[in-house]
Amino acid sequence: MCELFALSSRHPATVTFSLAEFSRRGGISGPHKDGWGVAYYREGDVRLIKDTGPASSSTCLHFIQDHPFSSTTVISHIRKTTQGSDTLRNCQPFARELGGAMHVFAHNGHLDLPELIHRMPLGTHRPLGESESESADGRSRMAGPRRW
């Protein structure tokens, strides 16, 4: 199962230490070596960095450590592939525009894709990847609140 790291704070904070420790779970102290990503909000938009390799050895993560950022909202995800190929489009977090604002989604766990398709048919939004997590993201944008 994948792992998530998130930060929500009143004032912008840096996550260099926390993200470094979290990234160790992506290939050194954990089996989650099939990709990773981090998204953070800055100036009313989202900056999204993703990689298909292990977070623990990613040059992108080293760049973030050398050039720290601060934000009030940060979401990071390390992946162990259960569905979909090891491609960027299946690495989380996913970012999409809705209503003139960028939204970020990350999911930890396993979803029953046939049941999801049955309960929430797709509208105009389509997932880019094959993972069940992104399929849920695209479906939730069309359906609004659901009672399960």
Q: Which of the residues are catalytic?
A: 2
Chain CA centroid to CA 99, Å: 20
Q: Letter for the amino acid at 82?
A: T
Phi, psi of 41 (to 5 degrees): -90, 135
The number of helix segments (H) and strand segments (E) in the chain equals: 4, 6
Q: What whole-number distance in Å separates Cα of residue 69 and Cα of residue 65?
A: 9
Q: Letter for the amino acid at 118?
A: H
Q: What whole-number distance in Å separates Cα of residue 2 and Cα of residue 71?
A: 23
